[in-house]
Structure 1
Amino acid sequence: MKRYFVLVFVLTMALNTAVFAQSAKTAPEDFNAFFSKFNADPKFQVSRVIFPLKYRANNDDLELVDYTQTKENYKVLTLNRKADEKFLKRTLSIKKSKVTLEERGLDNGIYIDYIYELKDGKWFLKTWVDQST
Structure 2
Amino acid sequence: MKYLYTAILALLFISCANNQKKVNLIKENSSIEDTLLELKTDKLAKDIMKDSVMSPKDCSLIFNEFFEKFSKDSLFQKSRVKYPLKWSYYRESYEKLTIEHIEQKDFIYIDFTEDKNAMQKKSGKYEVVIEKSKYEVNYLLKGYDNGIHMNHIFKLVEGCWFLVEIIDEST
Shorter-normalised TM-score: what interval? 0.7 to 0.9
> Is the 2:60–2:66 contact (alpha carbons within 8 Å) kept by the matching residues of 1?
no
Alpha-carbon distance in 1 for matches of 2:65, 2:132:
14
CA displacement at 1:54 relative to structure 2: 1.0
Alpha-carbon distance in 2 for matches of 1:85, 1:78:
16
Matched, 1:85 2:119: yes
CA displacement at 1:29 relative to structure 2: 1.4
Alignment equivalent of 1:108, drawn from 136, 143, 146: 146
Aligned to 2:44: none
Aligned to 1:57: 89
How many residues of Structure 1 are paired with residues of Structure 2 in the alignment? 107
Matched, 1:36 2:68: yes
Provide the identity percentage. 31
* Superposed CA offset, 1:82-122 (max 9, x none): 33233110011000100001110101110011100001111
Q: How much is the aligned-residue C-alpha RMSD, in angstroms? A: 1.4
What residue ranges of structure 2 are gaps of 5+ in the alignment?
1-58
| Worse-superposed segment, 30-39 or 79-88 | 79-88
| Worse-superposed segment, 102-111 or 59-68 | 59-68
Opposite residue 108 of structure 2, the aligned amino acid is K
What residue ranges of structure 1 are gaps of 5+ in the alignment?
1-26
Alignment equivalent of 1:69, drawn from 97, 102, 120: 102
Rg (Cα) greater in structure? 2
CA displacement at 1:128 relative to structure 2: 1.1
Q: Which has the higher strand share?
A: 1
Q: Which has the higher helix share?
A: 2
Alpha-carbon distance in 1 for matches of 2:60, 2:79:
17
When the two structures are superposed, what TM-score results if normalisation uses the length of structure 1? 0.76
| Worse-superposed segment, 103-112 or 71-80 | 71-80
When the two structures are superposed, what TM-score results if normalisation uses the length of structure 2? 0.60
Aligned to 1:97: 135
Opposite residue 66 of structure 1, the aligned amino acid is I
- The structure, 1 or 2, with the larger RCO (C-alpha pairs under 8 Å, 6+ apart) is 1
Alpha-carbon distance in 2 for matches of 1:76, 1:32:
19
Secondary structure of 1:37 counterpart? helix
